[in-house]
Structure 1
Amino acid sequence: MTNDWNYPIILVRPGKGVWLPEPHAAPFVDIIDIVFLGGKLYGITQAEDLVSLDIAFDDNNGAPDVTGFHAWSDIDEDDHNHEAENNDANNNDHCHDKVSTEEEDNNMRATKEVTVKTGDDMLSEGITTYWEDDDVPYEPSKDLVAVIWYLVGSCGKLFMVKRQLQCPSYGTAFTCKVAVLEVNLGTCAWAPVSGGLDGQTFFISERFCKSIAAHGDIEGDTIYFADTGETFDVMSRTLSPPQRDIDHGRSMWIFSPALVV
Structure 2
Amino acid sequence: MSTLMALIVVLAILMTIVGGETGIRSFFSVLINTILLILVAMLISWGINIAILILIFIPLKLVTIIFLGTHDYTVAKNSFYSAFLICLIVSAFIWGCQYFAQAAGLGPEAGELLVGLSQMPGLDYPMIAVAVAIFSTLGAIAEAAVAMSSGLLEIKKHNPNISEEELMSSGNAIGTDVLGTAMNTILFGMFGSFLALFLWYFRLHYTIGEVLNEKLFVNEALIIMYSLIGVILTVPLSSFMLSRGMSKKGLKNESRKSDHN
TM over 0.5: no
For CA contacts below 8 A with separation 6 or more, give which structure has more relative contact order: 2
Provide TM-score, normalisation by structure 2.
0.23
Q: More helix by proportion, 1 or 2?
A: 2
Provide TM-score, normalisation by structure 1.
0.23
